[in-house]
Chain A
């Protein structure tokens, strides 16, 4: 069974453009992260940027939108295009359809970038009404999301064509996982689509005068939490289906890997009220039901923790690793792609524990909107996801460009410096949150800072500075690789890591390769968990909030 398959030059270019824009957004957005961190440490550089960027909040909005929305969405659609084609070993059924989707995403990015850069959309990446941004901002977000849907339709057509050509064959894991992530995303983004299309866009265009901010929050968080699984599942795809190969091992359990992904489809969406525990307009019982559902989505993550670590251990023992924990040292830590993903996984574990804390209903009274929250999601999306994507790009960019990775040792330094910088940054943010420091706040202005916060605020600045340098190394390595004049020799071409399963995949139960029952179950669960509250909130809609521009 050969895993060799080669993408066409055109396909490589297409995926490469996704990655290029993703990395560009990451680079630009990451410039602002350290500015926020340094402001906390007492060194506010924003006044020096005044002609270009008006405020801390414009910077924070750019940081959130570019890093959390653009870098992720562009990287993911590109990576999933790759896993669809490479896993199924066939070209896209309608490459033009995918191209249309991608062009829509770019148009959306440009449309949103204009008001963001002109300080006309300084509403942060959650854009809670009744703060009102330029219509171009909402239009841009819509185009990015709809563009990603269109690219997803391209995956579905390709998958259907493959299925016709390969009846009875198990869907290759990486293609299955990638397409499932796209399906989940299309379900999940219905919330934000309803928010923008029924309220925010017509409101910003002046077609309606007022909106209902509570209903908007409910729509937003319908999408807002599955959004984090949309970011996370491609990293899981790599940890399950690719990383084991990179460490010389196999996937520990094909059937449990698939079961975990099905559970993520089923459980990622019906839990958004855990972001609204302290909202005044949502009844306690629905908040509690979503708390339990949030715990339930932790279950497939625990499955992942076991299967991924078992796969790594298997690989390490194949390489001669010994001892209960000694095998960890036998992993190929000098491979930057491996090092980045292992370190990402390690910090993600702590992010997961923090996430469980966030989900714990009344504990949210202590944590809601404190510095704990960005502390938490810098372990998850900014490390578990982002550092994994960096690790993936350390083989994917050489593969797509036909170049050798520029200075792999620097790439290893990058992974470690991200890890260390993030520990310092995130740990101090968590503690500040417990002490009562709010998130999203330039603390230099705040009249309520006790002296005990100061040493932690300084650490935030130190962590942010380390991360800035780590990000700069990443950009340098990727740009130097992609635009190197020297092509790699035939013998130096990157092999795409696709892990085989320890168990024969044909023994994986048939019900783990059937879509319909899982899709129906997902739909039913979403309707049960959201239907009654959405019905109530829409029935009692109060369009009483006019827009404000307060920045």
Chain B
């Protein structure tokens, strides 16, 4: 009766399948680690915190006067964008092609999104936090930035433009 031993029955085909599955996941994890931490294709990380109730009105807050700050002409720009229902301030900015542009985006009300089309800039705007993303626009033209999080009645109309000049 009890002579037979209990075993974890694994079919040889299944064993191979599982080994391949496991190896695949290890490869994926390594590739992602290299691309993110080695090559710098990185997700947003904590920048700083603000009080959403005063971020637009406090004269010491950069978002009381949002817009483009030229750090090194032609090379380095900081852009402060304030999101609120249902617009970005400013809704249009101009930067030169080839410059490193760092966006600092925050919200004075609900959550929003900030995604610049045809770039890797795509971040959740959570009130109380500053979202920071850096990008270099190599090709001149107009790039839409759009709200990607439901933020109320006119969410679909919430958008702006980056004009990249040659």
Cα–Cα, bound, A550→B127 (Å): 15
| Contact yes or no, A551 B159, CB < 8 A | no
Rounded to whole angstroms, the CA-CA distance of A281 and B127 in the bound complex is: 10
| A296/B25 contact (C-beta < 8 A), A55-B153, A253-B9 known | yes
B41-60 residues with Cβ-Cβ distance < 8 A to A are: 41-47, 49, 51-53
Stretch in A133-141, A158-166, A366-374, A380-388 touching the partner: A366-374
Asked if A57 is an interface residue, CB under 8 A from chain B, the answer is yes
* Chain B residues positioned under 8 Å from A447 (CB to CB): 157, 159
B131, A445: Cβ atoms closer than 8 Å? no
Interface of B is mostly: loop
A441 & B156 in contact (Cβ 8 Å cutoff) = yes
Chain A residues in 8 Å Cβ range of B82: none
Please give, as numbers and ranges, the residues of chain A lying within 8 Å of B148 by CB-CB distance. 368-370, 438-439, 441
Contacts of A406 in B (CB 8 A): none
Q: Which of A366, A438, A507 contacts B4 (CB 8 A)?
A: A507
Q: Does A213 contact B (CB under 8 A)?
A: yes
Is A509 a contact of B7 with CB atoms below 8 Å? yes
Contact A256 B156, beta carbon cutoff 8 Å: no
CB of B97, distance to nearest CB on chain A (Å): 20
Out of B10, B28, B126, which one reaches A280, CB within 8 Å? B126
B155–A440 CB distance below 8 A: yes
- Inter-chain contact total with CB atoms closer than 8 Å: 218
What's the nearest-Cβ distance from chain B to residue A436, in Å?
Answer: 5
20 contacts between A and B (CB under 8 A): A57-B152, A60-B150, A130-B111, A213-B128, A280-B125, A281-B49, A281-B128, A296-B25, A303-B21, A306-B17, A360-B28, A362-B41, A369-B124, A369-B149, A370-B115, A370-B148, A436-B115, A440-B150, A504-B4, A550-B152
In order of increasing CB-CB distance, the 5 nearest A-B pairs are: A550-B152, A445-B156, A369-B148, A302-B21, A280-B129
Binding site for B on A (CB under 8 A): 55, 57, 60, 124, 128, 130-131, 212-214, 217, 252-256, 259, 276-284, 287-288, 291-292, 295-296, 298-299, 302-303, 306-307, 310, 356, 360-366, 368-370, 436, 438-448, 503-504, 506-510, 512, 540, 542, 544-546, 548, 550-551
Residue ranges of B at the interface with A (Cβ–Cβ < 8 Å): 4-11, 13-14, 17-18, 21-22, 25, 28-29, 32-33, 35-37, 41-47, 49, 51-53, 85, 109-111, 113, 115, 117-118, 120-132, 144, 146-157, 159
